A and B are shown apart, each in its own frame.
Chain A
Amino acid sequence: MSDETTFKGVSMIEAEATAEMLLMTGTFRSPETIDEPIEQTIVRAVLQGEHDRFGRLYEMYAPLVHGVLLARVPRDEVDDLLQDIFLHAMRKLHTLRNPTAFGPWIAMIARNRAMDFHRASRDMVEVEENTAVAKPTNRTAHEVLDFIRQLPEAYRETLVLRFVEGMTGPEIAVRTGLTPASVRVNLHRGMKLLRGKMGVV
């Protein structure tokens, strides 16, 4: 007789492996995690002292904050500001009333931080309005980004998130807390203005 414990012809090792597989594929989830957004779980864990879990929120929302900052501040400042914003958010996490609204909350922190940056430095990047008109294929990414930065704030943020960060319209709506209709309008009007600025009809 073998050393393995068996139950109805199935070894316990096999049963455990099957259970682990099912858990990994998400077929079975613990009741605590059902219908609870991941942000809520992570925020609660971080507030209870599990600081390492904040890294997951950082992974999820760093592209959003990056896009918000890139639409407003010089590119070489974005990375440092990004880190500062997440550390600030971690310190102030207890003030977040609705953990599921982490995205809109941190996006607002990023916008405020960008405004503070401009108030402090007073050296906004001004791009000349009458840049020579040419085909977008001949332009660099920085030049196109500068065109986007000349657009109204609502359009520029949405366009950066769409084209730079690669988010779709529905994703932008979920992450920023805006309504899908607003995002759709911002995308289309922003794109129209961008085409005009770049000389593409």
Chain B
Amino acid sequence: MNDNYLWDRTGEPDADVQQLEELLGTLRYQPRPLEIPATINTGRRRTFIPLAIAAAIALLVIGAGLWIRFANSNQRPLEQAIRGPQSVAPQETAPAPKELTANSSTSHEPREISPEGRNVKRSLISLKPHRPIQASVPPLTKEELAQKEQVLIALRLVSAKLNLVQRKSQGLTPVNSIRNHKIG
């Protein structure tokens, strides 16, 4: 068998291949015009550009809406932060004595308010008025100590009498109550 003739019709012709060519050649495609309908659509979407423009506008509108909403939500705490020091001002106008407040020199100084929300919140926290911490009682004089002692003894006597009345009203013997009660 001549391979070249079967491949590209070159070289010595092969008898069987030639016979098949002649025989099957009768079934060859007979040209016939293609009937193209007048209304055929090649599928190229001309509406692509308007659609793209519409989509871009829609995205812009959504983006602008989100941005405005974000801006408003950020502005509210900022306004509060700005208003905050004014509302707590009366408390600050009457400063506590230095010895009764802790961190009084630093905590009440308003920090610089930055436009970022996180910093604004921090400044809000720092602007909250702190409760003054009670300091220890100053040392008393001898007279004051003696008066204090008397007040305490009087309070104990009153307390003992009140207990006695209570026991009586409950039906207990006053002896026991006196025995159990410690004075002084």
Q: Count residues on chain B whose CB falls below 8 Å from chain A CBs.
A: 31
Q: Say whether B8 contacts A59, CB under 8 Å.
A: no
Question: Is residue B172 contacting chain A, with contact meaning CB distance below 8 A?
Answer: no
Report whether A145 and B27 are in contact in the complex, using a CB–CB cutoff of 8 Å: yes
Contacting A at CB under 8 A, from B1-33, are: 1, 3, 6-9, 16-17, 19-21, 23-29, 31-33
A74 within 8 A of B: no
Inside 8 A of B41's CB, which chain A residues have their CB?
Answer: 91
Bound: A168/B42 CA distance, A? 32
Name the contact of A200 in the complex, choosing from B16, B24, B32 (C-beta under 8 A).
B16
- Closest Cβ–Cβ distance, residue B135 to chain A (whole Å): 85
Within the complex, which residue of A58, A166, A188, A195 is in contact with B3, where a contact is CB–CB below 8 Å? Answer: A188
Cβ–Cβ < 8 Å partners of A79 in chain B:
32
> Which B residues between 27 and 58 are near A, CB-CB below 8 angstroms?
27-29, 31-37, 40-45
B7 touches A184 (CB 8 A): yes
Taken residue by residue from 45 to 78, chain A's Cβ proximity to chain B (1 for < 8 Å, 0 otherwise) reads as 0111101101100110011001100100001000
23 CB < 8 A contacts A-B:
A47-B44, A49-B42, A52-B36, A59-B31, A63-B28, A75-B27, A87-B34, A87-B37, A90-B42, A91-B41, A93-B42, A94-B42, A94-B43, A94-B44, A141-B26, A142-B27, A163-B21, A164-B25, A164-B28, A169-B7, A170-B7, A191-B6, A191-B17
Partner-B contacts on A (CB < 8 A):
46-49, 51-52, 54-55, 58-59, 62-63, 66-67, 70, 75, 79, 83, 86-87, 90-95, 136-137, 139-142, 144-145, 160, 162-166, 168-170, 184, 187-188, 191, 194-195, 200
